[in-house]
Chains A and B, each alone.
Chain A
Amino acid sequence: MNRDRINKLLNRIPTHFIIILMILIWVVPTFGLLITSLRPSQSINTSGWWTILSPPRGSSEYGEYCASCHGDDGTAIPEADLTNPALIAEFPRSLQLLNALKAEYDGQPHMQNIPLPEAQAAADIATYLRRISGVDAPPRFTFSNYIDALVGYRGTSTYQRDCAAGTAPLDINCDASDLLNPRGMGRAFLNSLLVTIPATFIPILFAAFAGYAFAWLDFKGRFLLFAILVGLQVVPLQMTLVPISRLYAQLGLNGTFLGVWLFHTGFGMPYAIYLMRNFLGSLPRDLFESAYLDGASHWTAFYRLVVPLAMPAIASLGIFQFLWVWNDLLVALVFLGGTTPVMTYQISNMVTSLGAGWQLLTASAFLSMLLPMIVFFGLQRYFVRGMLAGAVKG
């Protein structure tokens, strides 16, 4: 009996191994992004995010070249206290440090019998000395990337430091109004919300009407019309962009929320109606018959019976449409562009034209994922259900 169980366990090992390997491949890149977004920019560009828990840069070089005389904490020689910021400020770069190391002190070579460090090692030591002396001691973790991303700060320092020193760029006011800076993710977050909420709500409303008609009302061409609708589900967005953007240009709808809401409504419709009709069609017929027998009109049946019963389908559809619109880039790029930037646009713009640093990109990317992740993990059940009901979406 026991042997059987051990055997069974052994047989399972490859299964667990593959699953865990795949989970790691799925989790690690995202985790790396999160960690990176929380690191100060100097650290991001000089070491990988996986070194976050290892000793700071230069500490091993310090141990090799300096610790024997200066001590582990740099205070062993009182005349040359390495934790004294005034002393360390004399060596802003590795060149000055190397010169000091080559110089003689009290007639003795500085390094005595230890060889001179290479240029790279000297630079690392200089960084380390700046850290222990407090001249430049970047924290391990910081939220400043998120602040910089939210307010659209593009300078070389950080928003908080620049504002404190009064050297902020011209488009930064150093007050709450910065959250609405058109270059920032704060403004983009607001725009994304303003685009997504109506562009989720309107299609659901229209689809509930149409789905009800397709499922429970009788009219000529019902089946044919629905078959066409099924075909329309896979029409690519690209096919309709050009005429609509030309038309919008004439109507003055380019760059307006209304234009995007309507476009997403039109494009979300075939799938939404398909889902609604299939869900409503699966409700028991007796329900409707008795409602009508009791003298309900089709309108009463719709809003007293259909809408409450369709809540699960509405939830699935809502999540689907929400994620679709929130994550969309193409429509936002074409119809909104830089005048009303949404989050996806803002990030792609940072990549393609501004070449923003990793500290901004990672923080911005994470900000844009925050809401979808919450929606997803909170309402995963409905999301999966909606996907299983009809797998295709334009």
Chain B
Amino acid sequence: MAARAVPNIMKQGKLAPWLYLLPALLVMGFFIVYPMINTISLSFSNKDGTASAATTCVEGRTCWGIFENYRYALTAEIDSSSVGSFWSSFWRSSYGNTLKWIVLMVSGTVGLGLLFAVLADRVKYEALAKAIIFMPMAVSFVGAGIIWKFVYDFGTQQVQIGLLNAIITGLGFEPVAFLSVPQLNTIALIVVGVWIWTGFCMTILSAAIKSVPDEILEAARVDGATEMTVFWRIMVPIISPTIMVVITTMVINVLKLFDIVYVMTGGNFGTDVIANRMYTEMYVNFNVGRGTAVAVVLVLAIIPFIYFNIKRFLAQEEIR
């Protein structure tokens, strides 16, 4: 076992450690472990959690019996009458949107974060620059949502008070309703997500970059390597474990992301994501079974990352 042994001299009574752990274990058991189990069992029940989900089946329609809520969670948004309609409905569903969020937001935050961390490392005003990029992390998603809703504002009259549309009309183009044009609106929301989370990636990656020994980089430069080569061939491989950690953390964050969509579009106009859909099923439609089924789907998507997290932790403990 990798955990460090406790010095003999410090061995206490058998009970003492558990007394220290008791408050934490109680609240965690009550607020995390118990609800998880309960959520799974509720996902097999009907609208108000009183009977099996199989009772909600309608005669003559496809039914998955006890898994009926999962049938709803997985297929209700999907039109599988033909291959074409399947894909077009998939890309408008909460699953398709969540996938877009993951791909675009993770690559956006990690890419921009890395770029900024590398560049800021070379200028004198690094601390200030980093503080500015990091600032949205202190602001709520709701606040950031308002900031960007205003930037995206679409005036139906002549005056555009939203910055982006003012620029667009200033250049002589037609104004764009960023938040209600399907597909474009999801991108517009992802931009807000990137704006918020880039600082997080930047900070962690910046710390990793600074820990790369200067001698290695200097040696490569002396040997005539260009800055690009130094970056791709030396820097990136050395910090790749950190990049992996940042990527997994961001994927988890994106999967759980709810506030931006809720505040800016409420999941309308084809911008729904899994986390917002769970809220809608549970607290707007008041359907316990369906709401919890969506939540379980969300957790299933996260399980690989729980595994990854524990693996990483075990590796860290080996090093200690």
Contact (Cβ within 8 A) A298 B12: yes
A157 interfacial by beta-carbon distance below 8 Å: no
Stretch from A73-81, A131-139, A174-182, A386-394 that touches the partner = A386-394
Rounded to whole Å, the gap between the CB of A325 and the closest CB of chain B is 11
- Interchain CA distance A256-B237 in the complex, whole Å: 51
Q: How many residues of A contact B (CB 8 A)?
A: 109
- B65 at interface, CB cutoff 8 A: no
Q: Per a CB cutoff under 8 Å, which of A30, A351, A384 touches B147?
A: A30
Separation of A217 and B310 alpha carbons in the complex (Å): 22
B21 to A240, Cβ gap below 8 A?
A: no
Segment of B56-64, B102-110, B244-252 in the binding face:
B244-252
Determine whether B143 belongs to the interface, using a CB cutoff of 8 Å to chain A: yes
| A329 close to B6 (CB less than 8 A) | no
- Cβ of A265 within 8 Å of any chain B Cβ, yes or no, is yes
Q: Complex formed: what's the CA distance from A284 to B131 in Å?
A: 33
Contacts A47-B159, A50-B166, A243-B42 given; does A267 touch B256 at CB 8 Å: no
Q: In the complex the two chains form, is B158's CB within 8 Å of A347's CB?
A: no
B101 touches A (CB below 8 Å): no
Q: State in angstroms the CA–CA spacing of A33 and B313 once bound together.
A: 42
Cβ B246 vs Cβ A232 within 8 A: no
Q: How far is the CB of A32 from chain B (nearest CB, A)?
A: 6
CB distance from B306 to the nearest CB of A (A): 5
Encoded as 1 (CB less than 8 Å from any B CB) or 0, chain A from 242 to 266 comes to 1110100000000000000011011
Q: Is the CB of B2 within 8 A of A327?
A: no
Per a CB cutoff under 8 Å, which of B4, B34, B116, B252 touches A243? B34
- For B310, the chain A residues whose CB sits under 8 A away are 227, 230-231
Contacts of B305 in A (CB 8 A): 234
Q: Could you say which residues of chain A place their CB within 8 Å of the CB of B2?
A: 223
Spot the interface stretch: B71-79, B91-99, B228-236, B257-265: B257-265
* In the complex, residue of chain B having the shortest beta-carbon distance to the beta carbon of A344: B142
Report whether A12 and B122 are in contact in the complex, using a CB–CB cutoff of 8 Å: yes
B222 lies within 8 A of chain A by Cβ: no
Q: Contacts A49-B161, A246-B49: A377 and B131 contacting too (C-beta < 8 A)?
A: yes
Among A359-381, those with CB < 8 Å from B are 361-362, 364-366, 368-369, 372-373, 375-377, 380
Are B12 and A217 neighbours in the complex by a CB distance under 8 Å?
yes
B138 within 8 A of A: yes
Given A327-B139, A372-B140, A387-B204, A23-B28 contact (CB < 8 Å): no
What chain B residues lie within 8 Å of A238 (beta carbons)? Answer: 256, 258, 275, 278-279, 295, 298
B31 in contact with A19 (CB, 8 Å): no
Distance, CA A48 to CA B170, complexed state (A): 12
B207 part of interface (Cβ distance < 8 Å): yes
- Considering the chains assembled together, what is the distance between the CA atoms of A246 and B283 in angstroms? 12
Report Cα–Cα, A226/B142, bound state, in Å.
34
A241 interface contact, C-beta 8 A:
yes
Interface flag for A36 (CB, 8 Å)? yes
Given contacts A19-B129, A327-B140, contact A292 B9 (CB under 8 A): yes
Structural contact, B163 and A28, CB atoms closer than 8 A: yes
Is there a chain B Cβ closer than 8 Å to A239's Cβ? yes
Contact residues in B for A152 (Cβ distance below 8 Å): none
Are A206 and B24 neighbours in the complex by a CB distance under 8 Å? yes
Contacts of A326 in B (CB 8 A): 140
Residue of A nearest to B36 (CB): A239
Q: Are A369 and B143 in contact (CB under 8 A)?
A: yes
B275 contacts across to A, CB distance below 8 A: 236, 238
Chain A residues, CB < 8 A from B16? 217, 298
Of B10, B17, B139, B299, which is within 8 A of A289 by CB?
B10
Are B256 and A219 in contact (CB-based, < 8 A)?
no
Q: Which listed segment binds A: B148-156, B180-188, B212-220?
A: B148-156
- Chain A residues with CB under 8 Å of B7's CB are 285, 288-289, 292
The closest CB in chain A to the CB of B12 belongs to A298
Q: Interface of chain A, helix or strand or loop or mixed?
A: helix
B53 interface residue (CB < 8 Å to A): no
Query: Which of B30, B112, B288 lies at the interface centre, i.e. has the most chain A CB atoms within 10 A of its CB?
Result: B30
Q: Which of B9, B31, B39, B288 has the most CB of A within 10 A?
A: B31
Q: A376 touching B20 by the CB < 8 A rule?
A: no
Interface centre among B39, B42, B143, B249 (most CB of A within 10 A): B143
* Interface residue ranges of B4-59 to A (CB < 8 Å): 4-7, 9-12, 14, 16-18, 20-21, 23-25, 27-28, 30-36, 38-39, 42, 49
Cross-interface CB contact of B20 among A210, A333, A343, cutoff 8 Å: A210
User: Which residue of chain B has the shortest Cβ distance to A229 in the bound complex?
Assistant: B28
Residue in chain B with minimal CB distance to A11: B227
Chain A CB within 8 A of B3 CB: yes
Partner of B10, one of A47, A120, A298: A298
Q: What is the minimal beta-carbon distance from A195 to any residue of chain B, in angstroms?
A: 13
Q: Measured between C-beta atoms, what is the minimum distance from A223 to chain B in Å?
A: 4
- Nearest neighbor of B152 in chain A, beta-carbon distance: A29
Write out the residue numbers on chain A whose beta carbons fall within 8 Å of the beta carbon of B168.
none
13 additional A-B residue pairs with CB within 8 Å, beyond A209-B23, A364-B146, A369-B138: A19-B120, A26-B135, A48-B160, A206-B27, A222-B3, A231-B310, A240-B39, A243-B42, A288-B7, A298-B16, A330-B279, A362-B150, A391-B249
**Listed A/B pairs (20) with beta-carbon separation below 8 Å:** A28-B163, A30-B147, A36-B150, A206-B27, A231-B307, A231-B310, A235-B299, A236-B256, A240-B39, A242-B38, A242-B291, A243-B42, A269-B27, A285-B7, A292-B10, A330-B259, A347-B263, A380-B134, A387-B200, A392-B252
A residues adjacent to B (C-beta < 8 A): 12, 15-16, 18-19, 22-23, 25-30, 32-33, 36, 44-50, 120, 205-207, 209-210, 212-214, 216-219, 222-223, 225-227, 229-244, 246, 262-263, 265-267, 269-270, 273, 281, 285, 288-289, 292-293, 298, 302, 323, 326-330, 333-334, 343-344, 347-348, 351-352, 358, 361-362, 364-366, 368-369, 372-373, 375-377, 380, 383-384, 387-388, 391-392, 394
